[in-house]
Structure 1
Amino acid sequence: MSWLPHPRKELSHFTPGDRVLTAPPIDDPLNTSADALRRIIDALARTAPEGEHLAATSEQLLALADSLEKHTRPVPTQLFEMWQGEGIARHDPATGQENPMAPPLQLFDGGDGWAVGTVTLGLPYQGPPGNVHGGICALMLDAALAVANHLAGTNGMTAKLEMSYKRPTPLNVPLTVRSRQLNVDGRKRFTMGEIVADGEVTVSAQGLFIARRS
């Protein structure tokens, strides 16, 4: 089987001059369906449990789940399709436009080696009351650090991720997520990132990434 890039993928080695570093939204049914599911997840998180509409809603959602499951592919086939070529995965749980679990976080070339994006998170991502779950912060920063490595042209797999939670990260306000590769030592890539809310850093991360053996 040929491992050519799939048309649904964006090249992981970004094109110089192209500011978009993560897979952008596209106008197709799968992307639209993922967006609709995000709306459903957010609406359910904001729905009172005694809502009179819920009985009918649950029946509709169960029927939809049954219908979707009839059209799935075997997992090995799906995995092969997802990872064809060198692509930024559209199913990534932090940045994937086709993953309804993802916010999704979009990152851009901010100049001087910085990958920068803005995202607003609602109740589905809550940890402490009114604030983002720490694991979600770690997820976004792990993804952002990896994108910064892509931007620098030296990729690697996460070997170590150190998180520093400085203050709560609020829900429902724009969050700036930014990252930058610091240096390279052989196969090691050292990268940092942070989340900023209202001008203050809420979470910072230091990451060690290891490149594949050549």
Structure 2
Amino acid sequence: MMSVELNSTANDTGVDAAVAAARRVIAGLVRAGDLSGADMAGIAERLNAVADDLDRDAPDVEDRLVNMWRGDGTTRHDPATGPENPIAPPLTFEGKDDGSIEAEVTLDLPYQGPPASVHGGVSALLLDHTLGVANHWGGAAGMTAELTLRYHRRVPLFRPLTISGRLLSVDGRKIRTAGSISADGEVCVTAEGLFISKDMGRPR
């Protein structure tokens, strides 16, 4: 449809590789719980040692913010798609010729709310971001002003989810967008968003 970058490319080395390993650790800890025979005291000691290394060598927050927002295109650090963010599933979007975008993802226990179901707040996070990316694909951009969600049925863990979005209209600074989360061909959550075009600037 157009030359628009929807996803940051994940690398097999550097911070991206470390973040992928951290995702495994997060999922492993939630799956293990207190039923595991693993040496949790030893694991905590090793993880704290890793955290100490990261804290010792980390740049100032101001410098990191400037670094995060350098260049153009999509971000590498957001909590939905970012290859540098261990809490991102991450989503990988595909732009469609009909103007919509779509991603498929399977969520594990770290994202649980009700039993074996995705937390409603996680669904809201993913849809808010998806609508923003849909705006980008449609040639508009803005900050979320309103996000209205309807939960039709539970969103299952451990099964492929289709997350989609589409820019509906642009009226001056007002951008309206819609999206959904579906599983097994059934719509689980729908979202409608109002975005306001605004230049937030970048850290310098």
TM-score bracket for this pair, using the shorter chain length = over 0.9
1:65 aligns with 2:46: no
Cα distance in 2 for partners of 1:150, 1:60 equals 41
Q: Quote how far apart the aligned CAs of 1:49 are.
A: 1.3
Q: In the aligned structure 2, how far is the partner of 1:208 from the partner of 1:52? A: 47
What is the identity, as a one-letter code, of the residue corresponding to 2:34?
Answer: P
- Equivalent positions of 1:1-214 (< 5 A) are 16=2, 21-50=6-35, 51-212=37-198
Q: Please report how far the alpha carbon of residue 24 of structure 1 lies from its aligned counterpart in structure 2 after TM superposition.
A: 2.3
Aligned to 1:180, what secondary structure does the other structure show? strand
Instruction: Kindly indicate whether the alpha-carbon contact (under 8 Å) linking 1:24 and 1:106 is maintained by their aligned counterparts in 2.
Output: no
Percent identity over the alignment is 48
With normalisation by structure 2, the TM-score equals 0.93
- Which portions of structure 1, spanning 4 or more consecutive aligned residues, are displaced by more than 4 angstroms? none
Contact 1:105 1:117 in 2 (8 A): yes
RMSD over aligned Cα, in angstroms? 1.5
Structure 1: distance between partners of 2:135 and 2:147: 14
Where 2:57 maps in the other structure, the secondary structure is: coil
Q: CA deviation at 1:106?
A: 0.9
The 1:182–1:52 alpha-carbon spacing in structure 2 relative to 1, beyond 3 Å, is: closer
Name 2:202's counterpart in structure 1.
Answer: none
Gaps of 5+ in 2: 200-204
Count of residue pairs the alignment pairs up: 198
Change (3 A) 1:114 1:47: same
Do 1:158 and 1:210's aligned partners in 2 also have CA atoms closer than 8 Å? yes
Q: 2: CA distance between counterparts of 1:191 and 1:23? A: 22
Does the 8 Å CA contact 1:22/1:95 hold for their aligned counterparts? yes
Q: Deviations over 1:98-118 (max 9, x none)?
A: 100100111111220111000
Offset of residue 88 of structure 1:
1.3
Tell me the amino acid that sits aligned with residue 166 of structure 2: R
Matched-pair contact (CA < 8 Å) for 1:107–1:117: yes
CA distance in 1, matches of 2:125, 2:33: 28
Matched to 2:115, the amino acid is P
Offset, 1:17:
5.1
Residue 166 of structure 1 and its aligned partner are, at CA, apart by: 0.4
